[in-house]
């Protein structure tokens, strides 16, 4: 099949492209900056010649890119700029999913997020939990996108929603918020608070996406939550992998969320590149495990051990100069397996 991928030069999208190509599919990218294609894919030995230049918020650009394709994977999302997030993410989803339906593409894969169904109804996130969302611009935009995807699913459109939790792994062009959080945690220490984190390896998420490219199956939803760990378990695993003891700082959940709000306000004035936000503080203090049973049973994708995911992420951080050999500890001296 020929599949259009939006967000293909990003963290999740680039790994998804590699998985789709391994699955024998042809890939076309919709990109704003074609110079990123070589920079992102060259290190993987992948040559991408089929791409369209345009913005996902431009309906005509999206339509032109979709023409001649059999399916689409919408993995693009804007994370910065309050107004741009609201306009671009929502209009982009409406364009890609809506026009994909008009043109008869099947399937239409949509990269959602557990943020859209946060907090869960029960003890675990489930794909049929009601749409909720957070109060930040990104959270609101993903909530509106999710509602639109579900409207299309109710009409019978072959929209396949995939719900990742916190995505980690190597080769993060950003790096994104989870990767930066890991980097800063092993450098400066971990806040010990309530709840924990569900970790999904980006390579496993990509395999979920590739496995979901099945035409004729109609609307479906799949969780990609990986494995859940409490914050002490997470910090202890990082110490075990690096052979270093990192600082622990006990912070009550309300205080951590307050710090997140303060940082959000400060970042509007001062360019602080620290991954904690109010939205992330809410997540890390109120998170829950994910029900991945349908993903495993129907798609046959098993989620690799968290230790492998974190070790590969830390090694990538060291190899790209994001952390020093001292911070990487044992991982810096051990060759990649």
pTM of the model: 0.93
Domain total for the chain? 1
238 occurs within a structural domain: no
At residue 328, the 3 state secondary structure works out as helix
In whole angstroms, give the CA distance from residue 125 to residue 109. Answer: 20
Q: What is the CATH number of the domain that holds 7?
A: 3.40.50.720
Q: What is the pLDDT of residue 270?
A: 87
- The rounded mean pLDDT for the chain is 93
Range of the domain at 35: 2-168+199-226+288-304
What is the average per-residue pLDDT within 42-53?
Answer: 93
252, 257, 258, 262 alpha-carbon torsion, rounded to 10°: 140
279 occurs within a structural domain: no
180 occurs within a structural domain: no
295 occurs within a structural domain: yes
Q: Tell me, what DSSP letter sits at residue 311?
A: H
User: HSE (CB half, 13 Å, CA atoms) of 197?
Assistant: 24
Query: Is the distance from CB of 213 to CB of 3 less than 8 angstroms?
Result: yes
Query: Is the distance from CB of 111 to CB of 74 less than 8 angstroms?
Result: yes
94 occurs within a structural domain: yes
User: HSE (CB half, 13 Å, CA atoms) of 98?
Assistant: 17
What is the tens place of the pLDDT at every residue in 279-298?
A: 888 888 989 999 999 999 99
In whole angstroms, give the CA distance from residue 157 to residue 98. Answer: 10
190 occurs within a structural domain: no
**CA dist 301 → 181, 210, 220, 221, 223 (Å):** 26, 10, 16, 14, 11
What is the tens place of the pLDDT at every residue in 177-230?
A: 899 999 999 999 998 999 999 999 999 999 999 999 999 999 999 999 999 999
8 occurs within a structural domain: yes
Extended beta strands in 170-287, E state: 190-192, 196-201, 220-224, 227-230, 248-250
136 occurs within a structural domain: yes
pLDDT band at 39 (very low <50, low <70, confident <90, very high): very high
């Amino acid at each position: 099949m020929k599949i259009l991928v939006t967000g293909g030069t990003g963290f999740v999208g680039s790994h998804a492209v590699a998985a789709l190509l391994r699955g024998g599919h042809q890939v076309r990218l919709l990109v704003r900056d074609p110079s990123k294609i070589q920079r992102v894919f060259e290190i993987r030995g992948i040559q991408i010649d089929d791409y369209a230049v345009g913005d996902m918020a431009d309906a005509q650009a999206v339509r032109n890119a979709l023409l001649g394709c059999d399916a689409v994977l919408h993995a693009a999302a804007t994370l910065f700029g309050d107004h741009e997030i609201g306009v671009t993410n929502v209009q982009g989803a409406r364009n890609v999913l809506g026009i994909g339906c008009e043109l008869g593409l099947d399937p239409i894969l949509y990269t959602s997020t557990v943020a859209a169904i946060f907090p869960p109804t029960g003890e675990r996130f489930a794909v049929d939990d009601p749409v909720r969302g957070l109060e930040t611009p990104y959270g609101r935009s993903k909530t509106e996108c999710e509602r639109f995807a579900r409207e299309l699913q109710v009409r019978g459109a072959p929209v396949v929603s995939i719900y990742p939790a916190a995505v980690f792994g190597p080769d993060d062009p950003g790096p994104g918020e989870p990767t930066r959080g890991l980097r800063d945690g092993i450098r400066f220490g971990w806040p010990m608070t309530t709840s924990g984190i569900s970790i999904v390896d980006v390579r496993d998420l990509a395999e979920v996406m590739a496995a979901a490219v099945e035409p004729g199956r109609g609307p479906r939803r799949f969780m990609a939550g990986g494995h859940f760990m409490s914050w002490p378990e997470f910090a202890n695993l990082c110490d075990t992998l690096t052979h270093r003891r990192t600082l622990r700082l006990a912070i009550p959940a309300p205080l951590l969320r307050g710090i997140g709000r303060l940082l959000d306000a400060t970042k509007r004035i001062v360019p602080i590149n620290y991954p904690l936000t109010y939205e992330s503080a809410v997540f890390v203090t109120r998170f829950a495990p994910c029900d991945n049973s349908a993903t495993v049973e129907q798609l046959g994708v098993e989620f690799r051990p968290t230790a492998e995911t974190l070790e590969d992420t830390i090694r990538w951080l060291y190899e790209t100069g994001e952390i020093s050999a001292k911070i990487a500890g044992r991982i810096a001296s051990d060759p990649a397996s």
